[in-house]
Amino acid sequence: MKYVTFGPTGLTVSQFCLGAWHVPGTGAKDRFGIEEVDKEAFAKVVKRAYDLGINFIDGANRYHGRMSTADLDHVGNTERILGQILKGYDRESLVIATKVRGPMAPWPNGQGLSRKHIMWQIRESLRRLEVDYVDLYQIHWEDPVTPKLETLRTLNNLIDRGFVRYIGESNHSAADAVEFMERARALDLEGFVSMQEPYNLLERQKEFETIPVAKKCGMAVMAYVPLAQGVLTGKYLGVTEKGSRATYEPGMAGQYLNTDVSSAVNTLKGIAGEKGCTIAQLALSWMIHKQEQLGITIVPILGITKLSHLEDNVGALDVKLSGDEMARLEEVAATAKMGKQSY
Sign of CA pseudo-dihedral 154, 74, 35, 241: negative
Give the Cβ contact number of residue 313 at 10 Å: 25
In 3D, which of 96, 38, 102, 95 has the Cα closest to residue 68? 102
Contact status, residue 80 vs residue 63, Cβ threshold 8 Å: no
**Can 63 be counted among the known catalytic residues?**
yes
3, 50, 63, 137: the catalytic one is: 63
Residues paired with residue 57 on neighbouring β-strands, in sequence order: 18, 96
Contact status, residue 181 vs residue 187, Cβ threshold 8 Å: no
Contact status, residue 135 vs residue 96, Cβ threshold 8 Å: yes
In 3D, which of 259, 260, 266 has the Cα closest to residue 235? 266
In the 3-class helix/strand/coil scheme, how is the chain assigned residue by residue?
CCEEECCCCCCEEECCEEECCECCEEEEECCCCCEEECHHHHHHHHHHHHHCCCCEEECCCCCCECCCCCCCCCCCHHHHHHHHHHCCCCHHHCEEEEEECCCCCCCCCCCCCCHHHHHHHHHHHHHHHCCCCEEEEEECCCCCCCCHHHHHHHHHHHHHCCCEEEEEEECCCHHHHHHHHHHHHHCCCCCCCEEEEECCCCCCHHHCCCHHHHHHHCCEEEEECCCHHHHHHCHHHCCCCCCCHHHCCCCHHHHHCCHHHHHHHHHHHHHHHHHCCCHHHHHHHHHHHHHHHHCCCEEEEECCCCHHHHHHHHHHHHCCCCHHHHHHHHHHHCCCCCCCCCC
- Tell me which residues are annotated as active site: 63
